[in-house]
Amino acid sequence: MAKILIVDDSSTVRDEVSTFLKSSGLDVITAVDGKDGLSKLQGDPGIRLVVADVNMPNMDGLTMVEKIRKDLRNTAVNLIMLTTENSAAMKERGKAAGVKGWIVKPFKGAAVLETFKKLVA
């Protein structure tokens, strides 16, 4: 089954999002920052959707998605940002990196579930 990778330095968010998605029948793995996210993605070809925070230690989420998009092995991977950030400049940078969508925290699972399912189908 296609998987969703949740990348967030907050364990509260990782737990909350992954618990919701798993309870909705989706397969989820988690990473604690951008570096960890890249590593998990490279090690698991089943990942079809990455949901990433922006502000994280070691490597921020936008840098991570830019690296993901530059790697031709990841063309089938969809990218969504889940963050407190809502600035136009950051969204532009995300769009330029191939991000498909932007969610401002807090996470409301019901509002995004159907889209997430389509993106991993």
Partner 1 sequence: MVAEMTSKETLISKVLILEPETGPTDELKAFCDAHQLVGLKVHKDSLGAVLRTNVDLGGILFSEEYGGSPAENARLALLIHSLRPELPLILRLSTHKALEELPDNLRHLFCAGYDIEHIDRLAEAVDRFIFCLIYPNALLRGIAEITIQVLESQFPRLEILRETPSIVNDRVIVGEVFSLIPLESGWCRGYMMLQTKAGSLLDVSGSLGPPSTSANIRIVNDRMSEITNLIWGAFKNKYVGDTSLPRNFQVQVPLIVNHAQKYISFGTENPQLCFGFRLRDPSAGVSLDIHQRFIFNLNWSPEMFSEISQDVDTMIDSGELELF
Using CB under 8 A as the binding rule, the residues of this chain from 14 to 53 that contact partner 1 are: none
According to CB under 8 A, which one of 19, 39, 58, 86 is a site residue for partner 1? 86
Cβ(3)–Cβ(48) below 8 Å:
yes
Binding string, 46-85, against partner 1, x = CB under 8 A?
A: ---------x------------------------x--xxx
Q: How far apart are CA 2 and CA 119, in angstroms?
A: 10
**Residue closer to partner 1, measured from CB, 42 or 86:** 86
Q: Is 104 in the site for partner 1 (CB under 8 A)?
A: yes
Output the smallest distance, CB 27 to partner 1, in A: 20
According to CB under 8 A, which one of 13, 24, 44, 67 is a site residue for partner 1? 13
Q: Is 88 in the site for partner 1 (CB under 8 A)?
A: yes
